């Protein structure tokens, strides 16, 4: 006799408890033709299945019915011939007709010999195909599945099943049963089919013991499962509310939220303890114990920083490493001498003379600006970009930042030196290339992400081949990306950051550009003079007025060439109507702009009548209405050809990144997929990757950073009160090239412009840079800056 694996788990639940099999009631029930309902039947055919995500289209024969129906959902473990009880919602698809969208699927043991044969013939068990299934069912009849579960050795009575093949078949049957058991367990604990599929693909048969031991692993292991979902599962399992695992998971969740939502690089220890205790409804001492355990494990880092509210700085490990790396690399660049011999030779070749190297570089910078408008600050910026190892150039719109980048790029070329240009987003990189005439890329593409290495191919051991690296739109740099970038900059190279420090800070953690400027440890050139042609634009003029705390100047609607308008409307619903009207009719008619490609709505917030979510629904219907074509439902949304999308997280495999905007070229509901064009590149989305894109007829002001649009339409209302800040209005206004239209109330505009207080992001980058430069430390609060004694020789 063969040695059989341990007794298998029944694939359809526990036979002794028929209720766990999903009952025996047949047919289908629903509220009318559409709405919530249940469906019990047999899987006749698998029409489509995405193997990477489990998204499946099934043909179901309901019990007590001769007409098949289509069911769709994440049903990767179901097979043809299975009896299943489904819960979900009836929907009318514009192309494929009536479908049942499944939210819960509970397999039921086939009730007849015919059903058992069909199920086994579909191939869920290794070595058992249609012919073998027929012989087994002919021998054991309706007891076949019971034989598999309890007496598998009796299958040796069937010709063609030797001991080795039988052992493999029984193991396959056991695995099949475990998959059902896991999926049922996850659904019973409130997880969607989509998440249940992802969890089973990650943990396999170990999913149940893993979750029983520590359900909070879901929050760290599975993308799309956060702490709150894991906490709900933990409660249903009966996990203690004050368990160390829950306290640790809750503390990590809090740190991640404060990083992702508020941009903090660290959090003061005491504040983190109090907030986590409140979140978890436990004692602060329990949180402190959990944090100390996380510190010992290396998940968090604690720095003793002295007296005051920042006395102990609590970092996530990756954020601490990134902040230290940015400070270390910038300080290292400034301490490393440039190759003056090579530079002197290049200057001689160009016939540039002078008393010393700095004087010759000054003359070269002035030569580059001859024949055009120039300021002393511009000349100094170009000179410093040649003379210094690290430099920041900052200024508002129309102050000549692009002129400087173009001149620096040209001069490096004349000197025979290699310069690389990059920006955080694809749109910003494309614009940079257009205005400089020099190749530019996104930072992610510049660093060459490698799947083999699990990170960027360009790093300290494989640096960029460059004599200078120039980064535009540097206000968008978060601490993670800045660290990766600086790690790849060669020691001998010059590093130049160009950006507007008065813009909103990066979406990710940190405020790198502002911290570098405020540190005083890196050379900075501030551009303040607005050039004549820029002064003729109300967009530019008003951006500077807003930045000074002044109300913008309005144009008459009949003024030729006017590029800024404010439409006053107190009713939020009417504001939304006006925005739709502006995008669909008024702006395209008067300015000849494409409503989808060239007009962008920027809202301060996600929610509310004037929030991104509501406006996207309105604008989709107005700008890309249904035409009877294919429609792809996904996560409460529906995508169709022509829709405008934005990528909301980096996807290195697809080569699309957070903030990239594209347009849907094709959708295929049968495959559960869509294809969108990003800067001419077609990208496929299916299954879980559909969670990475949302509609972008309207986006938040934050998401618009680094992009420019021919026209922007901005709702600004007192219902946006939490977000009414000067730098938000300034950022929205400076996204427009040809036209900016604000819709809302002057009261909201005045509140925002008056509110100049920049919300502080907890970071110690500026202090590290000051220490690296040998400057005195600065004790900061939210409102004042004051000098204190130096820290001595503490490491950066």
* pLDDT tens per residue across span 469-528: 999 999 999 999 999 999 999 999 999 999 999 988 888 999 999 999 999 999 999 998
CA distances from 412 to 383, 416, 533, 748, 791 (A): 11, 6, 28, 47, 39
Q: What is the pLDDT of residues 431-441, one digit of tens each?
A: 899 989 999 99
In this prediction, residue 691 has a pLDDT band, given cuts at 50, 70 and 90, of confident
Q: Which of 23-37, 122-136, 368-382, 727-741 has the lowest mean pLDDT?
A: 23-37
CA distances from 454 to 321, 449, 451, 462, 692 (A): 17, 8, 5, 15, 20
CA distances from 172 to 148, 411, 551 (A): 11, 68, 72
pTM: 0.76
Q: Which residues contact 341 (CB under 8 A, 6 or more apart)?
A: none
Q: CA angle, corner 598, sides to 593 and 603, nearest 5?
A: 120
Taking Cα atoms as reference points, which of 70, 121, 113, 115 lies closest to residue 92?
A: 70
CA distances from 219 to 123, 246, 294, 508 (A): 35, 11, 16, 20
Taking Cα atoms as reference points, which of 668, 667, 666, 670 lies closest to residue 56?
A: 670
Q: Is the dihedral of CA 575, 579, 585, 586 positive or negative?
A: positive
Query: Based on C-alpha coordinates, what's the Rg of the chain?
Result: 31
Q: What is the C-alpha to C-alpha distance for residues 624 and 559, in angstroms, rounded to an integer?
A: 31
Taking Cα atoms as reference points, which of 200, 51, 75, 175 lies closest to residue 125?
A: 175
Q: Is the dihedral of CA 572, 577, 580, 583 positive or negative?
A: negative
Tokens in use for 95?
A: 């192309």
Q: What is the C-alpha to C-alpha distance for residues 89 and 83, in angstroms, rounded to an integer?
A: 19
Taking Cα atoms as reference points, which of 229, 265, 269 lies closest to residue 249?
A: 229
For the residues 360-389, what does the mean pLDDT come to? Answer: 81
Q: What is the pLDDT of residues 447-459, one digit of tens each?
A: 998 877 778 999 9
Tokens in use for 184?
A: 């049922």
Q: Is the dihedral of CA 304, 309, 315, 321 positive or negative?
A: negative
Long-range contacts at 405-409 (CB < 8 A, ≥ 24 apart) = 405/432, 405/435, 405/436, 405/470, 405/472, 405/498, 406/435, 406/436, 406/437, 406/438, 407/365, 407/368, 407/369, 407/378, 407/382, 408/382, 408/468, 408/470, 408/496, 409/436, 409/438, 409/470
Residue 532: per-residue pLDDT: 52
- Does domain 18-194 sit in CATH 3.40.50.280? no
SS (H, E, C) 282-303: CCHHHHHHHHHHHHHHCCEEEE
Going from N- to C-terminal start, the domains of the chain cover: 18-194, 212-323, 339-532, 537-754
Classify domain 537-754 at the CATH topology level.
Rossmann fold (3.40.50)
Is 339-532's fold the same as 537-754's? Answer: yes
- Does domain 212-323 sit in CATH 1.10.10.2220? yes
For the residues 71-88, what does the mean pLDDT come to? Answer: 83
What does DSSP say about strands 778-780 and 644-647: parallel, antiparallel, or unpaired? unpaired
Q: Which residues contact 521 (CB under 8 A, 6 or more apart)?
A: 330, 331, 334, 769, 770, 772, 773, 775
Residue 3: per-residue pLDDT: 36
Tokens in use for 235?
A: 């409660």
Q: What is the C-alpha to C-alpha distance for residues 310 and 632, in angstroms, rounded to an integer?
A: 49
Q: What is the pLDDT of residues 132-159, one digit of tens each?
A: 889 999 999 988 888 888 888 898 888 8
Q: Which residues pair with 522 in a beta bridge?
A: none
In this prediction, residue 779 has a pLDDT band, given cuts at 50, 70 and 90, of low
In this prediction, residue 534 has a pLDDT band, given cuts at 50, 70 and 90, of low
Q: Which residues contact 229 (CB under 8 A, 6 or more apart)?
A: 191, 195, 218, 219
Classify domain 339-532 at the CATH topology level.
Rossmann fold (3.40.50)
Phi, psi of 88 (to 5 degrees): 175, -145
Q: Are 5 and 126 in contact (CB under 8 A)?
A: no
Locate all alpha helices (DSSP H) within 338-422, ordered by sequence. 340-349, 357-368, 376-387, 401-414
316, containing H or E segment:
strand 312-316
pLDDT of 19 above 50: no
Q: What is the pLDDT of residues 318-347, one digit of tens each?
A: 999 999 999 999 999 999 887 777 877 777
Residue 21: per-residue pLDDT: 31
How many residues are listed for the chain in this entry? 796
pLDDT of 783 above 60: no
In this prediction, residue 533 has a pLDDT band, given cuts at 50, 70 and 90, of low
Q: What is the C-alpha to C-alpha distance for residues 602 and 88, in angstroms, rounded to an integer?
A: 36
For the residues 640-665, what does the mean pLDDT come to? Answer: 90
What does DSSP say about strands 599-603 and 698-700: parallel, antiparallel, or unpaired? parallel
Q: Which residues pair with 84 in a beta bridge?
A: 41, 107
Q: Provide the 8-state DSSP code for 91.
A: E
Q: What is the pLDDT of residues 719-749, one digit of tens each?
A: 877 788 999 999 999 999 999 999 999 999 9
Q: Which residues contact 153 (CB under 8 A, 6 or more apart)?
A: 1, 2, 4, 166
Q: Are 56 and 49 in contact (CB under 8 A)?
A: yes
What does DSSP say about strands 709-716 and 599-603: parallel, antiparallel, or unpaired? parallel
Q: Which residues contact 589 (CB under 8 A, 6 or more apart)?
A: none
Q: What is the C-alpha to C-alpha distance for residues 60 and 71, in angstroms, rounded to an integer?
A: 7
For the residues 695-702, what does the mean pLDDT come to? Answer: 95
Q: What is the pLDDT of residues 402-422, one digit of tens each?
A: 989 999 999 999 888 999 999
Q: Are 747 and 570 in contact (CB under 8 A)?
A: no
Q: What proportion of the chain, given as a percentage, has pLDDT over 70? A: 89
Q: What is the pLDDT of residues 598-632, one digit of tens each?
A: 999 999 998 899 999 999 999 999 999 988 778 78
For the residues 257-283, what does the mean pLDDT come to? Answer: 94
Q: What is the C-alpha to C-alpha distance for residues 686 and 505, in angstroms, rounded to an integer?
A: 32
Taking Cα atoms as reference points, which of 504, 512, 508, 436 lies closest to residue 470?
A: 436
Residue 646: per-residue pLDDT: 94
């Amino acid at each position: 006799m063969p040695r059989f694996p341990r007794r298998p788990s029944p694939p359809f639940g526990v036979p002794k408890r028929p209720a766990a099999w999903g009952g025996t009631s047949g047919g289908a029930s629903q509220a009318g033709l559409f709405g919530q309902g249940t469906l019990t039947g047999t899987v006749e055919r698998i029409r489509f299945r995405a193997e990477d995500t489990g998204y499946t289209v099934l043909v179901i024969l309901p019990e007590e019915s001769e007409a098949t129906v289509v069911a769709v959902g994440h049903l990767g473990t179901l097979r043809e011939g299975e009896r299943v009880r489904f819960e979900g919602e009836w929907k009318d698809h514009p192309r494929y007709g009536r479908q049942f969208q499944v939210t819960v699927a509970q397999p039921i043991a086939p009730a007849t010999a015919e059903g058992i044969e069909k199920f086994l013939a579909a191939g869920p068990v290794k070595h058992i195909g249609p012919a073998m299934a027929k012989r087994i069912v002919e021998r054991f009849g309706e007891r076949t599945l019971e034989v598999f579960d309890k007496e598998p050795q009796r299958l040796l009575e069937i010709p063609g099943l030797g001991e080795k093949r039988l052992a493999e078949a029984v193991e396959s049957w056991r695995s099949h049963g475990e998959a059902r058991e896991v999926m049922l367990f996850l659904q019973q604990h409130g997880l969607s089919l989509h998440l249940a599929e992802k969890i089973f693909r990650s943990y396999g048969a170990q999913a149940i013991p893993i979750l029983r031991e520590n359900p909070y692993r879901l929050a760290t292991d599975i993308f799309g499962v956060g702490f709150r979902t894991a906490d709900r599962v933990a409660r249903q399992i009966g996990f203690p509310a004050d368990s160390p695992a829950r306290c640790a998971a809750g503390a990590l969740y809090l740190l991640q939220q404060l990083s992702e939502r508020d941009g903090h690089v660290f959090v003061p220890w005491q504040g983190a303890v109090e907030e986590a205790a409140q979140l978890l409804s436990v004692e602060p001492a329990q949180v402190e114990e959990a944090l100390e355990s996380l510190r010992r494990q290396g998940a968090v880092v604690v720095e003793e920083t002295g007296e005051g509210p920042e006395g102990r700085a609590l970092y996530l490990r990756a954020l601490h490493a990134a902040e230290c790396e940015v400070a270390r690399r910038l300080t290292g660049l400034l301490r490393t001498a440039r190759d003056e011999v090579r530079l002197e030779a290049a200057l001689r070749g160009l016939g540039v003379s002078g008393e010393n190297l700095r004087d010759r570089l000054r003359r070269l910078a002035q030569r580059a600006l001859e024949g055009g408008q120039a300021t002393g600050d511009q000349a100094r910026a170009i000179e410093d970009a040649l003379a210094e190892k690290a430099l920041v150039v900052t200024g508002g719109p129309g102050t000549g930042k692009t002129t400087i980048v173009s001149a620096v790029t040209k001069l490096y070329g004349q000197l025979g030196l290699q310069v690389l240009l990059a920006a955080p987003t694809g749109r910003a990189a494309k614009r940079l290339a257009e205005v400089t005439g020099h190749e530019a890329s996104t930072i992610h593409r510049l660093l060459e992400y490698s799947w083999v290495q699990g990170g960027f191919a360009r790093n300290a051991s494989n640096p960029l081949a460059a004599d200078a690296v120039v980064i535009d739109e540097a206000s968008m740099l978060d601490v993670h990306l800045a660290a990766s970038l600086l790690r790849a900059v060669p020691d001998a190279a010059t590093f130049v950051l160009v950006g507007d420090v008065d813009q909103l800070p990066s979406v990710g953690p940190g405020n790198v550009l502002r911290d570098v400027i405020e540190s005083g440890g890196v050379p900075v050139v501030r551009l303040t003079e607005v050039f004549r042609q820029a002064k003729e634009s109300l967009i530019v003029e008003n951006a500077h007025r807003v930045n000074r705390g002044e109300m913008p100047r309005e144009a008459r609607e009949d003024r030729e060439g006017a590029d800024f308008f404010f439409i006053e409307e107190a009713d939020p619903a009417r504001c939304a109507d006006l925005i739709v009207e502006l995008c669909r009719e008024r702006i395209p008619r008067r300015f000849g702009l494409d409503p989808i490609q060239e007009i962008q709505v920027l809202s301060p917030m996600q929610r509310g009548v004037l929030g991104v979510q509501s406006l996207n629904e309105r604008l989709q219907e107005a700008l890309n209405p249904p035409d009877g074509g294919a429609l792809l439902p996904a996560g409460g949304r529906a995508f169709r050809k022509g829709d405008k999308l934005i990528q909301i997280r980096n996807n290195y495999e697809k080569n699309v990144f957070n903030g990239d905007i594209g347009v849907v070229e094709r959708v295929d509901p049968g495959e559960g997929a869509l294809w969108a064009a990003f800067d001419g590149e077609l990208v496929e989305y299916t299954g879980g990757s559909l969670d990475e894109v949302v509609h972008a007829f309207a986006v938040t002001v934050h998401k618009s950073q680094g992009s420019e649009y021919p026209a922007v339409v901005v709702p600004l209302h007192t219902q946006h009160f939490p977000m009414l800040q000067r730098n938000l209005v300034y950022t929205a206004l400076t996204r427009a090239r040809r036209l900016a239209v604000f819709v809302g109330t002057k009261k909201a505009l005045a509140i925002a412009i008056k509110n100049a207080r920049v919300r502080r992001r907890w970071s110690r980058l500026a202090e590290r840079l000051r220490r690296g430069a040998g400057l005195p430390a600065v004790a900061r609060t939210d409102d004042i800056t004051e000098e204190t004694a130096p820290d001595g020789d503490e490491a950066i």
